Amino acid sequence: MDGVPNLTQGAIAPESSFRYQFTMPHPGTYWFHPHVGTQLDRGLYGALIIDDPREPLAYDEEWVVVLDDWLDGVTATPPEVLAELSQGMGGMMMRMGNTLMGAKSDARGGDAGDVYYPHYLINGRPPADPETYTSAPGKRVRIRLINAGSDTAFRVALAGHQLTVTHTDGCPVEPLDVDSVLIGMGERYDVIVTLDDGAFAFVAEAEGKKARAFAVVRTGPGATPPSDITLPELSGRLATADKLRAKDDVTLSRRKPDRELTIRLRGNMDRYDWSLDNRTFTLDKPMKNPYPIATGEGVRINFVNTTQMWHPMHLHGHTFQHAGGGPRKGTSIVLPGRTLTVDFAADNPGRWLTHCHNLYHGEAGMMGVLAYLK
């Protein structure tokens, strides 16, 4: 069970408890959150870091960096935002209430996000009161990036440093040296950095929203950099999932898929009618119209994005691999007008959600179920 109400278990009732007991088959950077309404955007989540008893990477220390977009109790509540979005709006580039119109993303293409957030946070802190990560020159640090946001992709960089990407969504990739990393909602990236001497800005730019989250990395004396500092790294070599290759030990065996599903991402901002294949979906009746799969199959999914916006598509119960030797992942961005093809091994019988990890898209209906045939 994975916490999805009416699909794998009942929701945990108010003032009651539920004990999950499970073994951890894979080390890596994970997180957990509820699947009930808009609770995720109220901060109900946590990081889950699984150490590897035979860790192959060499590093001195690690820093868990949780990114979030925050509005609850400041400009609105998440249910109010969902209600406002659901009314649908047409418009130009402006903020209308809590709805963001016309925010454009360079790297993603199309609309950057739907929701206006007053704050962007690193480990729960805004740029005016940043976290300081203190270390020493020459230390090799494994930074575990988690995007716990609901409607925001972040472009992450550390001033004056190169980042080496080693994992995404818990799975190892061939190391890639970059200047910045783009991380969608639900995604994780692990990067290794060798620290220089001084005080450095650590920036997570809210992609297309003209705002940022900010922290400081300090290894020596020097003035604390201002939060609005310009970072050339943010426009340098950018890591995106399509540039990564899976390590051999997580590469799926190559074979012709036994089953191929084509799932069309549908909907638009004006009508706020996000869906998979125009199927209406609610978690009250999740088994209304599932996609069938069967145990033992190699399954291929073509996520066809017919919309004007990017969507971080997530599959429960499995990790997939980008076709053609790309990264093994749990959540991947599908760009507007593009198709993302992924493969996975159907080795975990049950009923599993696949959905957009934009919380408001998911709640509007951009969800579906992959159900194993009996």
User: Can you give the binding site for Cu ion, defined by CB under 5 A?
Assistant: 311, 356, 358, 361
Nearer to Cu ion, 130 or 330 (CB): 330
- 199-228 burial string, b = 16+ CB within 10 Å, else e? bbbbbbbbbbbeebbbbbbbbeeeeebebe
Residues 169, 294, 347: CA angle, nearest 5 degrees: 40
Q: How far is the CB of 268 from Cu ion (least distance, A)?
A: 11
Q: How far is the CB of 185 from Cu ion (least distance, A)?
A: 9
Nearer to Cu ion, 262 or 295 (CB): 262
Nearer to Cu ion, 144 or 311 (CB): 311
Nearer to Cu ion, 69 or 179 (CB): 69
Q: How far is the CB of 306 from Cu ion (least distance, A)?
A: 12
> What would the DSSP string read from start to end of 314-358?
EETT--EEETTT--EESEEEE-TT-EEEEEEE--S-SEEEEEESS
Q: How far is the CB of 194 from Cu ion (least distance, A)?
A: 36
Q: Quick one: CA torsion of 149, 350, 29, 176, rounded to 10 degrees?
A: -90
**Side-chain-facing half-sphere of 253: CA atoms under 13 Å:** 7
How many other C-beta atoms lie within 10 A of the C-beta of residue 181?
Answer: 24
CA distances from 29 to 21, 167, 176 (A): 19, 8, 18
Q: How far is the CB of 102 from Cu ion (least distance, A)?
A: 17
Nearer to Cu ion, 188 or 314 (CB): 314
Question: For tokens 């080496």, what's the residue?
Answer: 164
* Residue 226 three-state SS: coil
Q: How far is the CB of 129 from Cu ion (least distance, A)?
A: 31
Q: Which tokens sit at 310?
A: 């990017």
Nearer to Cu ion, 212 or 314 (CB): 314
**138 vs 130: CA distance, rounded Å:** 23
